[in-house]
Each structure stands twice: as structure tokens, then as C-alpha cells.
Copies of this chain bind each other. A is one copy, B any other.
Amino acid sequence: MTDRIREFLRNRREDGPCLVVDLDVVRDNYLAFAHALPDTRVFYAVKANPAPEVLKLLASLGSCFDTASVAEIEMALAAGATPDRISFGNTIKKERDVARAFELGIRLYAVDCEAEVEKVARVAPGSRVFCRILCDGAGAEWPLSRKFGCDPSLAVGVLEHAHRLGLEAYGVSFHVGSQQRNPRAWDQALASAAGIFRDCAERGIGLSMVNLGGGFPAKYLNDIPAVEAYGSSIFDSLRAHFGNAIPETIIEPGRGMVGNAGVIEAEVVLVSRKSADDVVRWVYLDIGKFGGLAETMEEAIRYPIRTERDGDTLEDCILAGPTCDSADVLYEKTPYPLPVSLAIGDKVLIEGAGAYTTTYAAVAFNGFPPLKAYHI
């Protein structure tokens, strides 16, 4: 919460939940990344929050952009980024989308298998590709599946295939898992990456770049290490595994760039108990899993929630959204402590909501409009 957001909300009159993002916080976050990892290029993960105001600010600060689709590429270009500052970082791309990206000037693509290399080779000739490898994601709060990346043992073959097809085998990427609270989590993946660099070199292919991915956390309920701790830990690992031949590196912060910059204001719609002997209240908000808080899925992300009654006694509640879907429950397995005096009509502030909220909102589930947002 910042004074600027507080001031904005004080003057707000309209109905319904809304997200307010303080661009000054985004600016501070960018500068902190640039300072903590001075030799690393920052590719902001557009999917975390693609608001034009955020993209324009970051473009003006010199950021590059990691994009997941042609639409995101177009947004980054519209914000003022040149094509050489944009990567098409999704490993799952239609060939005609790669072709469209190539037309737009994009020359940097993620791949994780030979079939994807072949698409890029056919319609984006001569481009740079980096191969994403699997990473176990231990220590991350948002679940990481095996969806993206190949086993490191396959990566050399994928990069060699790219080289053979006239692409530039540029490097290796990985992702240590979103909301990664362990700054040492990059070490093992960097060891794998260094091994791939050596194996490629033996085959006459000189890799240049390691994409360290995202995973940098936002502050929710628990404290997180400072970005400097990540920077120095990553640098130590780079030196340990690459010695004096430290490669070019990039990072792709999304949550870490915008998460703590945003606050959602919501309203208590109902407080009730289900039976006479229920000890836990149900508290229903006008925002839920389908209105922007999708990351409460499996109760993965636990947002800090402020109320106007925070001095009062706290008591656990089950927190749920406003839709007629029984799955639209935010916190139940681990109930959430909120003031026992919380009442219908009260406003609540959901902090750390700058990332992965607006774009996850459903178009009109139950007739509710998507989350409104203001970037100030």
C-alpha cells in the first residue's frame, strides 16, 4: 500500500472491485533488479501485467520484454520497445504465430523440442533460439509442472538441430518456479546449463546466453529475501559453474516487477455461519477466483488482506468469492484470520495484487464484469 494508492481509493466512487497499481513502485522494482544484477538484461514477463502504462514505463527505463503471444509482442512494440528488445518466450507456438512474429522483427525464440525448432527454422530463418530445460521448482509457491522445458540430456540435441537448420543456437533457459523464496534455487539449473554449454562447445557450437527466467517473488504474507540476495547468489553460482567464461544473462521477472505495486479494493458482500455449532465464519467478497484472484487456486498464493478494523480481535474465516460456483472459494483448507467485527459492506484491501490478476479475470462469469484496473 502506498500513499498514492490510498489517495486514489479515497476519491473512488464507482461500484465493484478494482486494482490500483502504483507505477512508482514498478519503477523502483526495475531499478532494484538493474542494480542487483548489473550485467544482466531484464526481460519483463508481459503476461504478469500487460497494462500499457506498465509497458511504457518499463520501455522508457530500458527494459526488454518476454512475450507469450503475438498479441503481447504487439503490445510491447506499441509501448515503444524495438523488436531486438523482445523475445517470444513461449515454448508452445503455432507456426503461423512464429511467422507473424518474424514479420514484426522478432529474432529471439524459446524452444524445448526439435518440432518447435523446425517451426522456427521454417518461418523465422537465422533467428536465435534458446532451449528451455526442466528444473524441479523446489521452494516455489506457485506449482511448477513439467509443462515447459526438456530434460537437460535432450537440450544439446535440440540446440544442435537448430544449428543444423541454420538458426543461431544461442543459449539455455530455465525457470526455478514462480514466487521462488530460495535465492540458491538457481544453482542446480546453472550447473546443468554449464554442462550443456560444454557439450555444445565439444560439437563446435558456441552458446552465448543463459536465460535465468523469472521466479523472483513478490511480498505476500511471508517475508521474502531482498533482490540483492538473489543477485549475489546467482552471481556466485555463475562463477562456480562457468568460471571466468560467464555467459551473457537475462532475467524475466513478472511477479517480482509488479506484484507489490498493486492493491485490489474489494467489498464484503456477506458474512454468515452454516450451522449453529460452526466455529468458522464464511466471509464472501465481491471478487473471487474467477474475478482476478485465480492464483488462489489450491490456495497457492496467500494475499495479505487489510481491513478498516485491523485493530480488532482476529478470528478465522473461510473466504469465498461472489459467484454461484462452489469452486469459487479462496481460502478454506487454511482459513484466513480476519477481524471478528468485519461486517457486510466493509471495504477490504488485497495487497500484492499487481501481478497475475487482471488478465486472469473471466470475461463475464455469472454476469460479473472483469476486474477494473487503474495504473497511476
Q: A149-B274, A270-B113 are in contact. Are A71 and B363 (CB under 8 A)?
A: no
Q: Report A196 CB to chain B, min CB distance, Å.
A: 14
In this assembly, does A159 line the interface, its C-beta being within 8 Å of a C-beta of chain B? no
Q: Report A167 CB to chain B, min CB distance, Å.
A: 17
Check B271 against A115 for contact (C-beta < 8 Å): yes
Residues of B within 8 Å of A270, CB to CB, are 91-93, 113, 115-116
In this assembly, does A329 line the interface, its C-beta being within 8 Å of a C-beta of chain B? yes
Q: Report A54 CB to chain B, min CB distance, Å.
A: 14
Among candidates B94, B112, B153, B363, residue contacting A358 with C-beta atoms closer than 8 Å:
B363
Contact with B along A250-286 (1 / 0, CB 8 A): 0000000000000000010111111110000010101
Contact with B along A363-376 (1 / 0, CB 8 A): 11111111000000
Q: A94-B269, A272-B112 are in contact. Are A147 and B365 (CB under 8 A)?
A: no
Residues of B within 8 Å of A370, CB to CB, are 363
A window 76-95: CB within 8 A of B: 89-95
Contact with B along A161-184 (1 / 0, CB 8 A): 000000000000000001000000
Q: In the complex, what residue of chain B is closest to A362 when comparing beta carbons?
A: B360
Give the bracket for the number of chain A residues in contact with chain B. Answer: 35 or more
In this assembly, does A223 line the interface, its C-beta being within 8 Å of a C-beta of chain B? no
Check B365 against A363 for contact (C-beta < 8 Å): no
Check A68 against B367 for contact (C-beta < 8 Å): yes
Q: A94-B267, A284-B92 are in contact. Are A366 and B326 (CB under 8 A)?
A: no
Q: In the complex, what residue of chain B is closest to A157 when comparing beta carbons?
A: B276
In this assembly, does A344 line the interface, its C-beta being within 8 Å of a C-beta of chain B? yes
- Scoring A50, A69, A273 by chain B CB atoms within 10 A of each residue's CB, the highest score goes to A69
Contact with B along A89-118 (1 / 0, CB 8 A): 111111110000000000000001101100
Check A367 against B50 for contact (C-beta < 8 Å): yes
Check B96 against A15 for contact (C-beta < 8 Å): yes
Check B367 against A147 for contact (C-beta < 8 Å): no
In this assembly, does A154 line the interface, its C-beta being within 8 Å of a C-beta of chain B? yes
In this assembly, does A63 line the interface, its C-beta being within 8 Å of a C-beta of chain B? no
In this assembly, does A70 line the interface, its C-beta being within 8 Å of a C-beta of chain B? yes
Residues of B within 8 Å of A94, CB to CB, are 15, 267, 269, 286
In this assembly, does A297 line the interface, its C-beta being within 8 Å of a C-beta of chain B? yes
Check A366 against B362 for contact (C-beta < 8 Å): no
Among A137-145, A185-193, A224-232, A308-316, the stretch that binds chain B is A137-145
Q: Report A211 CB to chain B, min CB distance, Å.
A: 13
Chain A residues in contact with chain B, CB under 8 A?
15, 45-47, 50, 67-72, 75, 89-96, 112-113, 115-116, 119, 134, 142-151, 153-154, 178, 267, 269-276, 282, 284, 286, 290, 294, 297, 320, 322-329, 332, 344-345, 358-370
Q: Closest 4 CB pairs between A and B?
A: A71-B367, A151-B275, A69-B367, A113-B272
